[in-house]
Amino acid sequence: MSRIEAPRDAAGAGAGAAATDADAAAAVRAPALPGTLVDRLLTGLPADAVLTDPDVTASYAHDMASFCPAGAPAVVVLPRTVEDVQHVMRTATELRVPVVPQGARTGLSGGANATDGCVVLSLTRMDRILEIDPVDRVAVVEPGVVNATLSRAVNEHGLYYPPDPSSWETCTIGGNIGTASGGLCCVKYGVTAEYVLGLDVVLADGRLMSTGRRTAKGVAGYDLTRLFVGSEGSLGIVVRAVLALRPKPPEQLVLAAEFASASAACDAVCRIMGTEGREAGGAGRGEGGHVPSLLELMDRTTLRAVNDLARMGLPETTEALLLVAFDTADPAADLAAVGALCEAAGATRVVPADDAAESALLLQARRLSLTALEAVKGTTMIDDVCVPRSRLGDMLEGIERVAAEYDLTIGVCAHAGDGNTHPTVCFDARDPDESRRARASFDEIMALGLELGGTITGEHGVGVLKKEWLAREIGPVGLEMQRAVKGVFDPLGILNPGKLF
């Protein structure tokens, strides 16, 4: 079978674009700023790719994270080609100007925040799906392709791109690669890093380097592809990615289980993923236990917030809701087996979805969690602490103690199957004392995660928000080695400075 070139549909062409037609018009109208930088950029870029209007460039200054400082960019560049990106990096190297790469700015750690006088390199116009190959099961894409756009395109060929962050309708593949993002399906299918086979990367000095492969296997030399995944744009600019695809699985069915305590819900998670899951029967089982396609938890605070936002009728009297899904040949049998495990763990009610539509409604409730919690007080700090599954109950109990100690509303939604929690601190940013308590509670939660043998970030990245905590997690020797790697790829320190460390 020959390779199939994917059509660039209207949704794919525009869904990820952060710059509007008005932005482009502003760029054409605005005169070049005095000085060498803008003049030099315009020698190799079209005028509509260089934004200098301060009101426009200010809108590119930060991502969605709270408590993360952001500077004022000197200029925003919207490249369409690899050559455009190379020109920007050669210019920046010559003039010693920092460059901050951006996708859709849906990040939650300040990793896309501008620094004063920088070039913001927004890659949202590089949004083409270059190839979908059903035989090799790969897709070749530019960094500005929106996650959901890619997912729908490969679905048309009977294929599946599993990583699906909650922001999948807006976040870009380049941003997903930069933060090594995950999603709801991680428990079965893994995270972004497991699907990136090869990359084309523009280095700090403008050279183009290719890493990895498009073959099913390959161990030639150091794995530089994995090095770039999760590097938050600090080592190079990803301009093309070869992504692994899987056969499209059967449509999944979801079960909802209500619990009178978070600890009982976490006990159910351990039963599902442990040896008791193996003994419980069903087709979706591994050697250790069940292998659900999704295993998510929402606490009472989150359930109420989602109901307030979307009137979805979720149960507000329960302390925790567990969502379990299977995309196996017989999902109903797997849900029945898991339902029995939930009841054994103390579930007060177990409700399997009858069809795909009901399942999709439950998943939509989970995807709305962070948006709903933000509406509680207007501002949130979203943590991203991952702990061993066996310590998930301890983590949730600890978060409850922190909320009480600091007199704050903290909702928790979690990729329970991975132990990846998203404690979300809700606060009024106009209240200085409440803001101070919010920041302090955030730090307490990260410290708790490390104490339980976890990590400070499972999928959101370090950015600006967690620099101090990265140093605590990896220690002085680890930090020294990471800085040394940065120095090899970016000796002038111009790529996304001030992030990670």
All CATH 3.30.465.10 domain ranges in the chain, comma separated: 127-247
For residues 213 and 324, give the distance between their C-alpha atoms in angstroms, rounded to a whole number: 35
What are the C-alpha distances in Å from 395 to residues 346, 350, 386, 422? 19, 24, 9, 11
Which residues are registered as beta bridge partners of 132? 4, 139
Could you tell me the fold of the domain covering 127-247?
3.30.465
Degrees, nearest 5: CA angle 148-152-158:
140
- The structural architecture, per CATH, of the domain 17-122 is 2-Layer Sandwich (3.30)
Q: How much is the pLDDT for 289?
A: 77
- Which pLDDT belongs to residue 2? 32
pLDDT confidence of residue 33: 41
pLDDT at 278: 55
Q: Of 3.20.20.70, 3.30.70.2190, 3.40.50.620, 1.20.1250.20, which CATH number belongs to 250-367? A: 3.30.70.2190
- Structure confidence at residue 316 (pLDDT): 86
Comparing C-alpha atoms, which of 178, 246, 244 is closest to residue 212?
Answer: 244
* CATH 3.30.43.10 in the chain, residue ranges: 17-122
The pLDDT score that the predictor gives to residue 54 is: 95
Helix locations, 105-219, DSSP H = 147-155, 173-179, 186-189
Q: What is the DSSP letter of 455?
A: B
Residues of the chain scoring pLDDT < 70: 1-35, 276-288
Q: What is the pLDDT of residue 286?
A: 54
Rounded to the nearest angstrom, the gap between the alpha carbon of residue 207 and the centroid of all alpha carbons in its chain is 28
DSSP states along 251-311: PPEEEEEEESSHHHHHHHHHHHHSHHHHHT--SSB-SSSB--SEEEEEEHHHHHHHHHHH-
Q: Where in the chain is the domain with CATH 3.30.70.2190?
A: 250-367
- How far apart (Å, rounded) are the C-alpha atoms in residues 403 and 434? 12
Q: What is the pLDDT of residue 3?
A: 35
pTM of the shown model: 0.88
